[in-house]
Structure 1
Amino acid sequence: MNSVGLLYVGAVLFVNSLMLLGKIDGKSAGVFNLFVGSIQVISPFYLIFTANGDSWTIFNASGIFLFGLTYLYVGITNLKNLDTSGVGWYSLWVAILAVGYACVSFFQFHDVKFGIIWSMWAFLWTMFYLLLASKKNVAIFTGWVTFIQSWMTATIPAFLILIGQWDEVGPKTTWAVTIIAILLFVVAYLSVKPSISSKASEMKSGA
């Protein structure tokens, strides 16, 4: 994914995290999803049309569609007040594909940094599936995961790429940041676990 596109992935994830945390209205967030989704659908078409048949350029462009269609789907769903199950099931499909992109990053390109980032995106899309299709009470936790990933998997990497410093991030820093991200996910889960458990108990008791 090109650096500018990745930067705006960070922006839309940031906005969507605040929506999930109840800070932004769903329709307001939906409009921004449409803006970024449109960019993330137009740009890969351009990359594919100018790839001159280069299979890896086309492969990389295909990953951008995963994001673009997600944001368009979310935007339309929010603005039209549609049921979210379609977005949720699409998110499960994307989560599975993201694991494949992670494996290609690790083993084909030997790119540990983006292998980790794709793995985190697979986790994020899985959370969207649980929230939107399975209707699990994980909105707040998903909001925090989205917030953390908006910075760690998109905004900061994109900014470093734009200023030519991404290659300066070594293995020790990469794994340190990864561990910090995982710890933040754990802290976020533990902080919202009581409300998740309480809601589950209410549903079982018919309250």
Structure 2
Amino acid sequence: MGNVGLLYVGAVLFVNGLMLLGAVPQRSAAVLNLFVGALQCVLPTVLLIQAAGDTTAILAASGLYLFGFTYLYVGITTLAGLDTQGLGWFSLFVAAAAVIYSALSFTLSADPVFGVIWLAWALLWSLFFLVLGLRRTEFTRFTGWAVVLLSQPTCTIPAFLGLTGNYTPTAPAAWGTAAAFLTLIALAAAIARHEPATSHVGASSRAIHA
């Protein structure tokens, strides 16, 4: 069930990355954020009800709320025209929690691939904190490209692998995943560095970027 939610997280992250880059209107992206945010709150609630005290299942479900609350926060803040700084500081909390979930994936869950994925999410939410919480708008384009490029390999691809029974959480797969993510982050930095700034990007830096 968690893979179903992860699939749509890939979609909303992709759209939000494009919103950061000024390619998608903010209010249009807000609607998808509300849909996915609601989904990512309903699914873990169902999982918690079904867990029957299983701490492993409860731990797995608990992390999903981080995404659900993020996207609901994005959608409501955008549509209501609220200041985004609160969302930025919440993103710092999410980034810190993601580091903990990463450590638990490497140890308790014995899933090094998702250990790497959680670290990638920690990076993305740290960037949201910089752009929104600290108003470091010079990172807006890099954040947008990082979100666009990492949205599919951190969400959609592992979701489809899990849904089809082809997900393999092995150490070699984790190393390959880490190498791919580092390459994509470097590519995002290169594109952002050489891409000319536009008025759309400047406008997006004042909006919701998570």
Q: Is the 8 A contact 2:117 2:154 kept in 1?
A: yes
Map of 2:11 onto structure 1? 11
Q: Displacement of 1:194 after TM fit?
A: 6.1
Q: Percent identity?
A: 48
Instruction: Give matches, 1:47-196, under 5 Å.
Output: 47-136=47-136, 137-167=138-168, 170-193=170-193
What is the CA–CA distance in structure 1 between the aligned matches of 2:13 and 2:42, rounded to whole Å? Answer: 19
Report how many residues are paired.
196
SS at match of 1:135: coil
Map of 1:204 onto structure 2? none
Q: Displacement of 1:21 after TM fit?
A: 1.2
Q: Displacement of 1:49 after TM fit?
A: 1.6
Q: Is the 8 A contact 2:91 2:125 kept in 1?
A: yes
Q: Displacement of 1:112 after TM fit?
A: 0.4
Structure 1: tracts of 5 or more residues without a match: 197-207
Q: Displacement of 1:140 after TM fit?
A: 1.1
Q: Is the 8 A contact 2:15 2:24 kept in 1?
A: yes
Give the partner amino acid of 2:90. Y
Structure 2: tracts of 5 or more residues without a match: 197-210
Map of 2:202 onto structure 1? none
SS at match of 1:53: coil
TM-score by length of 2: 0.88
Greater C-alpha Rg: 1
Structure 1 residues 68-93: Cα deviation after superposition (integer angstroms, max 9, x where no partner): 00000001111112111010000001
Map of 1:203 onto structure 2? none
What is the CA–CA distance in structure 2 between the aligned matches of 1:148 and 1:160, rounded to whole Å? Answer: 18
Give the partner amino acid of 1:114. F
Change (3 A) 1:55 1:174: closer
Map of 1:199 onto structure 2? none
RMSD: 1.8
TM-score by length of 1: 0.89
What is the CA–CA distance in structure 2 between the aligned matches of 1:95 and 1:40, rounded to whole Å? Answer: 17
SS at match of 1:166: coil
Q: Displacement of 1:173 after TM fit?
A: 4.0
Q: Is the 8 A contact 2:116 2:177 kept in 1?
A: no
Give the partner amino acid of 1:161. G
Q: Which 4+ runs in 1 deviate beyond 3 A?
A: 169-174, 193-196
Q: Is the 8 A contact 2:120 2:181 kept in 1?
A: no
What is the CA–CA distance in structure 1 between the aligned matches of 2:26 and 2:117, rounded to whole Å? Answer: 26
What is the CA–CA distance in structure 2 between the aligned matches of 1:195 and 1:58, rounded to whole Å? Answer: 43
Q: Is the 8 A contact 2:112 2:170 kept in 1?
A: no
